[in-house]
């Protein structure tokens, strides 16, 4: 059974002007997402600026999210690291806090071999008792999690149950399902590929778009599940321009900018994430206006 089915929001981490975490705003954002039909919250992922949080902040943000959601929808905690020991530590802590699952990015910078990736994820699986979603995003990590490796982990570990695929390589993603079949649940990691991945047997998306258009992102998935594939495809295509603008600079710079333009007051980014270039802000603003969310 999938950890969740549909649209999971890769939620931002809101901050005060002094760059401390704004927990009251986090609660507000979560409540808005649940009210809009979002199917899961993914906390402390890339979009949540996890790389710029201290370990103490990281764990506190996860704990606050779990506590506030209070089992209304699943909470998946981002606990990946380029150090296996750190990933194990954070994963065990997240489990103890009550997270429903874990999102584990491939070890960045180290560029592990496929053998190293198998050992890394096997070690984590041995130390936790909740489902694990592998996260393949080679454009950011410099490391590609191959279909054969995913299939091996699905067969030989107890808790590897899904993959968030953000390679952008549809042929590679198709091969994951061909090799692993129902042993692995497939989530789109790119908002412009939700429908293509659903068509390959995917069960949903871990979405940046959902931060600014939660109901629409949910509906892309729900229409597909309801058998209205034409509507699902139309909704996907209608969102493409906005999705492009949300990724015209490195994530999460544009999405936090978009949320501030909407009056959500999610605060600044932490360096080395810088403020958005003026020309790109205008591009983003126009896309939001055309999509009807500004």
Active site positions, annotated: 135, 164
Q: What distances in angstroms separate CA 117 from CA 74, 85, 104, 123, 189, one per listed residue?
A: 26, 13, 11, 10, 19
How far apart are alpha carbons 263 and 252 in whole angstroms? Answer: 17
How far apart are alpha carbons 11 and 26 in whole angstroms? Answer: 9
Are 7 and 217 contacting, i.e. CB atoms less than 8 angstroms apart?
yes
User: What is the β-pairing status of strands 6-10 and 75-78?
Assistant: unpaired
Query: Under 8 Å CB-to-CB from 245, ≥6 apart: which residues?
Result: 254, 280, 283, 284, 286, 287, 288
DSSP H or E segment with residue 123: helix 114-127
How far apart are alpha carbons 283 and 247 in whole angstroms? Answer: 11
Q: For residue 126, with 0-12 CB atoms within 10 Å meaning exposed, 13-18 middle and 19 or more buried, which class applies?
A: exposed
Nearest of 284, 258, 260, 256 to residue 270 by alpha carbon: 256
Alpha helix (H) ranges present in 239-277?
240-246, 253-261
User: What is the β-pairing status of strands 40-43 and 132-136?
Assistant: unpaired
């Amino acid at each position: 059974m999938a950890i969740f089915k549909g649209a999971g929001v890769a939620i931002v981490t809101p901050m005060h002007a002094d760059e401390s975490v704004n927990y009251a705003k986090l609660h507000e954002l979560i409540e808005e997402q649940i009210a809009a039909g979002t199917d899961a919250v993914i906390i402390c992922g890339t979009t949540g600026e996890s790389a710029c949080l201290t370990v103490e902040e990281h764990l506190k943000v996860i704990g606050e999210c779990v506590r506030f959601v209070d089992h209304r929808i699943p909470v998946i905690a981002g606990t990946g690291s380029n150090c296996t020991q750190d990933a194990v530590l954070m994963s065990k802590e997240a489990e103890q806090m009550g997270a429903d699952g874990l999102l584990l990015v491939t070890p960045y910078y180290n560029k592990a071999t496929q053998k190293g990736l198998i050992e890394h994820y096997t070690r984590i699986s041995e130390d936790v008792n909740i489902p694990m979603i592998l996260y393949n995003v080679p454009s950011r990590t410099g490391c590609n999690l191959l279909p054969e490796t995913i299939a091996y982990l699905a067969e030989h570990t107890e808790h590897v149950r899904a993959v968030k695929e953000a390679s952008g390589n549809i042929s590679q993603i198709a091969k994951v399902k061909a090799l692993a079949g129902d042993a692995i649940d497939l989530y789109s990691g790119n908002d412009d590929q939700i429908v293509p991945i659903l068509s390959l047997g995917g069960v949903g998306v871990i979405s940046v778009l959902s931060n600014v258009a939660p109901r629409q992102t949910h509906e892309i998935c729900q229409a597909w599940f309801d058998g209205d594939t034409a509507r699902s495809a139309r909704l996907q295509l209608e969102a493409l321009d906005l999705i492009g603008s949300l990724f015209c600079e490195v994530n999460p710079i544009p999405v936090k900018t978009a949320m501030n333009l909407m009056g959500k007051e999610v605060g600044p980014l932490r360096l080395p994430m810088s403020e958005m270039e003026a020309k790109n802000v205008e591009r983003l603003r126009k896309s939001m206006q055309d999509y009807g969310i500004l």
